[in-house]
Structure 1
Amino acid sequence: MNTSSSPSPQPFDHHLNGADTITTQSDNAATTAGTDSGQLLFTPAQAATTLQVRESWLRRRAAERRVPCTFLGKHLRFSRADMEAIIADARRPSAASRIRTSTSDPLRR
């Protein structure tokens, strides 16, 4: 009988991530959405964490169809392209790059 202790077995759901290393399902649960570039779809919680917004804000915008998203049946998911589009749509020019069109401003002399 072998009395040496061996590490507990890992879950059988193994796959390759973007870095060609084997990870387990439990490892992926601990991985943040922003660092796993091989992930196809993100949950609302993962997408909200990546975008640094509240999950409720993101869910509400998705329900109103104001942000790009994917529904798999009743499950809401966000792709990396969806999140990039959300960022691009929210981008505003800086105050220094705004061009004033009115020259008749009485306060500006």
Structure 2
Amino acid sequence: MKSSHDLVLYTKYEAAEILRVKVSWLERRAAARQIPFTMLGGTYRFTPEHLAEIVRLSEPSGGAAAVRPERRRQRRREASRQVPDGFIPLRPRPRRAA
């Protein structure tokens, strides 16, 4: 019998196998902070609670998956139009001749 202080942590490979997704999918989502994870020793680790939350977030009626991409882009464009007073945009550095 497990005691209450036993902690189960899955590697990204184990978590990907359990969720039946690619490891790269987990890595991209974790790096973008779109899914819960624990960083331990410089590697992603996942608890059973993390895995349950990832499944919940991936449901069509769940969190981030419910927002349509068109609306996200539109919100970003609207936010980028708001320029603070005194803001001078950066210009790209001229390319060197080869």
Give me the TM-score of the superposition, normalised by structure 2: 0.53
Structure 2 residue aligned with 1:75: 43
Gaps of 5+ in 1: 1-16, 19-37, 94-109
Q: List structure 1 segments (4+ residues) > 6 angstroms apart after TM superposition.
A: none
Gaps of 5+ in 2: 62-98
Residue by residue, what CA displacement relative to the aligned partner does 1:40-97 show, whole Å, maximum 9, x if unpaired?
100000000000000000011101111000001312100000000000111125xxxx
The residue number in structure 2 matching 1:66 is 34
> What pairs with 1:28-107 in structure 2 (closer than 5 Å)?
40-92=8-60
Query: How far 1:39 sits from its partner (Å)?
Result: 6.4
Choose between structure 1 and 2: higher strand proportion: 1
Letter in 2 for 1:87: V
Structure 2 residue matching 1:71: 3-state secondary structure:
strand
Q: Deviations over 1:17-54 (max 9, x none)?
A: 76xxxxxxxxxxxxxxxxxxx86100000000000000
- Which structure has the larger Rg over C-alpha atoms? 1
- Identity fraction in percent: 36
How large is the Cα RMSD of the aligned pairs? Answer: 1.8
Structure with the larger helix share: 2
Q: How many residues align?
A: 58
- TM-score (normalised: structure 1): 0.48
| Separation of aligned partners in 2, 1:88 and 1:55 | 18
Whichever residue aligns with residue 44 of structure 1, its letter is: K
Give the structure, 1 or 2, with the largest relative contact order (CA under 8 Å, sep 6 or more).
2
AA in 1 matched with 2:42: K
- 1:74 is matched by which residue type in structure 2? G
